[in-house]
Amino acid sequence: MSLLRRLAVLPLLFCLVATVHCRRAAGGDSDPVEREAEAALVAYLRIDTSNPPGNETSGARFLQQLLAKEGIDAKLIGADPNRQSLYARLPSGTNEKALVLLHHIDVVPVVAAEWTKPAFAGIRSGGYIWGRGALDVKSLGIAELMAFVDLKRRHLPLRRDVIFLAVADEEMGGLHGCKEILEQNPELFANTGFVLNEGGYNDTIVDHVSFWGIEVQAKVPLWLRITMKGAAGHSASPPDDGGALAKLVRTLEALQRIPTPYRLTPAVMRSFHAAGKARQDERGEVLRGIAEPVDTARVDRVLSPGYRSLLRETIAITRIAGGNTINALPANAVADVDIRLLPDETTAPMIEKVKKALAPDGGGLQILLAAEPVPDSPSDTPLFRTLAAAMTKFEPDSIVGPIVTAGTTDSRYFRARGIVAYGIAPFKVNYYDADTVHGNDERIRARFFSEGVRLMRTIVDDFCAAPAQEKRPAR
Ligand SMILES: [Zn+2]
């Protein structure tokens, strides 16, 4: 989940200021829980859970051991022994709807040669913690784990059950993680009402948050693989149709020509209006004033691709393969296409359009992932109010609002079951660091991590610990 963080585009001037400021501020933290959290994150980043293949079981076992030290019994779940997820529950003895603290164990693969530091070494350097997963999303996992453990350590009476859930396979669509777990083990989620997950973002200016976006809905992913066959042979005498690769290129051009006009959905409108309140520039004006019919020319001129992607379907070619030498035609070629539909769209109409684009050259179509639209999570809930109160207390001049994101997360599996799921970003992230998500040199500022751990503990404590008067033993 990287795209929306890129929206936090700020003047380059801040880059230098932030660097100097953070060098000054990068001293050690005195809070033992935050030191413990940092050590846990470093150790977690050293476990390579690149997906594919995943190997999430090693990450799940690591978390299981941390919980076992606290006397919390966590179990591994999942059909594939190499791809286990982890589940633990703190019981409250009440009937209030339970809260799930969710994160994914897997990370996207790295191109090691393009990193300036080893990606799975958990290196601390220059005020940062480096490694694949530092932002997406092992940092959130450890913050959730510390908040969960904190409740147990303090022997607090709980007003609701709290579930810690670390899942496999989010980065490839969650079929071997969240989807499978919810289908195979529904009893584990009895009386669950709320989920906190990745997917939110915040606008961080130097080291202050101006806007906290709580994700309530995401676009619908449709992942396709296109295969093309052609005559193999010497490329000095190609066939009239050009062969498999030429046919594939023509087909991909046709796909790119599928019209994707702007359309404003109600949740996106609310999201833009909320985000616009935190900006004083022309972009803020356009966001606050967005309405149907969309002013296409102005939106094209003022809004970044990240915002515009929330107003239309997007079709991105992400992988092309075929051929192995200059003078031979391959018999097969393949391309992967990542399509994101507007949050209220079903996949069938787009699949029909793709089939039409494939028809002239006879390409084959494989559907890798076809999600369904799910209702957005409402923002008039006690959990949203708890988040907003904690975030604005943490950063007094900030604004909190519901947002829609272009990326996808496992939250959709819970929303489909009527469970309120919010994507949150408890860590401040400057835009130049946000770009390392799914990219090279992924890293989190150590100080921002510690602060986010503190914020997460506040949120979970406020929502799950019983109020003070209920904590006294009955006499
Ligand atoms: Zn993620």
pLDDT tens across 245-278, in order?
A: 999 999 999 999 999 999 999 999 999 999 999 8
- pLDDT of 150 > 50? The answer is yes
DSSP conformation letters of 162-196: EEEEEES-GGGTSTTTHHHHHHH-GGGGTTEEEEE
Ligand 1 centre to CA of 288 (Å) is 28
At 286 the pLDDT is: 97
| Spacing, Cα 246 to ligand 1 middle (Å) | 35
Three-class SS of residue 252? helix
Residue 5: strand, helix, or coil: helix
**What pLDDT is stored for residue 371 in this prediction?**
94
- Nearest-5° angle of CA 215, CA 311, CA 252? 110
Whole-number Å distance, alpha carbon 105 to ligand 1 midpoint, is: 9
Q: How far apart, in whole angstroms, are the C-alpha atoms of residue 289 and residue 258?
A: 28
Return mean pLDDT, the chain.
Answer: 92
Judged against a pLDDT cut of 70, whether residue 213 lies above it is answered with yes
C-alpha closest to that of 257 among 141, 362, 353, 165: 353
Q: Which amino acid is at 6?
A: R
Give the model's pLDDT for residue 212: 97
Ranges 16-20, 155-159, 311-315, 450-454: which has the least confidence: 16-20
CATH architecture of 220-370: 2-Layer Sandwich (3.30)
pLDDT over 50 at 9, yes or no: no
pLDDT of residue 31: 84
- The Cβ of residue 355 has, within 10 Å, a number of other Cβ atoms equal to 11
pLDDT category at 10 given cuts 50, 70, 90 is very low
pLDDT at 431: 85
Q: Average pLDDT in the 333-357 region?
A: 98
Q: Distance between CA atoms of 386 and 391, rounded to whole angstroms?
A: 9
Ligand 1 centroid, distance to 219 Cα (angstroms): 15
Q: Are 361 and 426 in contact (CB under 8 A)?
A: no
- Report, as an integer, the average pLDDT of 327-354: 98
Asked whether the predicted pLDDT for residue 469 surpasses 90, the reply is no
**Span from the CA of 440 to the centroid of ligand 1 (angstroms):** 15
Structure tokens at 35: 């030191």
Whether 475 has a pLDDT exceeding 80, the answer reads no
Distance 85 CA to ligand 1 centre (A): 15
178: confidence class by pLDDT, cuts 50, 70, 90: very high
pLDDT of 410 > 80? The answer is yes
Asked if the model's pLDDT at residue 1 lies above 60, the reply is no
Please state, as a whole number, how many other Cβ atoms lie within 10 Å of the Cβ of residue 26. Answer: 14
Six-digit token string for 149: 């453990």
2 vs 146 pLDDT, higher one: 146
Give per-residue pLDDT as tens, 226-241.
Answer: 999 999 999 999 999 9
Give residue 257 CA to ligand 1 midpoint distance, Å: 30
Q: How sure is the predictor about 435, in pLDDT bands with cuts at 50, 70 and 90?
A: confident
Q: What is the mean pLDDT of residues 299-319?
A: 96
Q: For residue 133, how far is its CA from the centre of ligand 1 (angstroms)?
A: 8
Average pLDDT in the 148-173 region? 96
DSSP helix/strand/coil, 316? strand
Cα(109)–Cα(119) distance, integer angstroms: 10
| Domain boundary assignment for the chain | 3-199+409-471, 220-370
Quote the pTM value. 0.88
Percentage of the chain modeled with pLDDT above 70: 92
What is the H or E stretch that residue 67 is in? helix 56-69
Position 474 pLDDT exceeds 50: no
pLDDT tens digits, 37-54: 999 999 999 999 999 999
- Residues 293-299: what's their mean pLDDT? 96
- On the question of pLDDT at 26 being above 50, the answer is no
248 CA distance to ligand 1 middle (Å): 31
What share of the chain in percent tops pLDDT 90? Answer: 87
CB 51 within 8 A of CB 171: yes
- Between the CA of 310 and the centroid of ligand 1 the distance, in Å, is 19
What integer pLDDT is reported at residue 156 of this predicted model? 86
Please write the tens of the pLDDT for every residue from 77-109: 999 999 999 999 999 999 999 999 999 999 999
Give the ranges where 309-430 is alpha helix by DSSP (H): 348-358, 382-394, 411-415
Q: How far is the CA of 395 from the centre of ligand 1 (A)?
A: 25
* CA 132 – ligand 1 centroid, Å: 11
The band of 30, judged by pLDDT with boundaries at 50, 70 and 90, is: low
Q: How far apart are CA 90 and CA 71, in angstroms?
A: 11
**Could you report the per-residue pLDDT of 190-211, keeping only the tens digit for each?**
999 999 999 999 999 889 999 9
Q: How far is the CA of 140 from the centre of ligand 1 (A)?
A: 10
Name the CATH architecture for the domain at 3-199+409-471: 3-Layer(aba) Sandwich (3.40)
Ligand 1 centroid from CA 20, angstroms: 29
Does position 439 have pLDDT exceeding 60, yes or no?
yes
What is the CA(103)–ligand 1 centre distance, in A?
8
**What is the Å distance from ligand 1's center to 136 Cα?**
5
Q: What is the mean pLDDT of residues 414-427?
A: 97
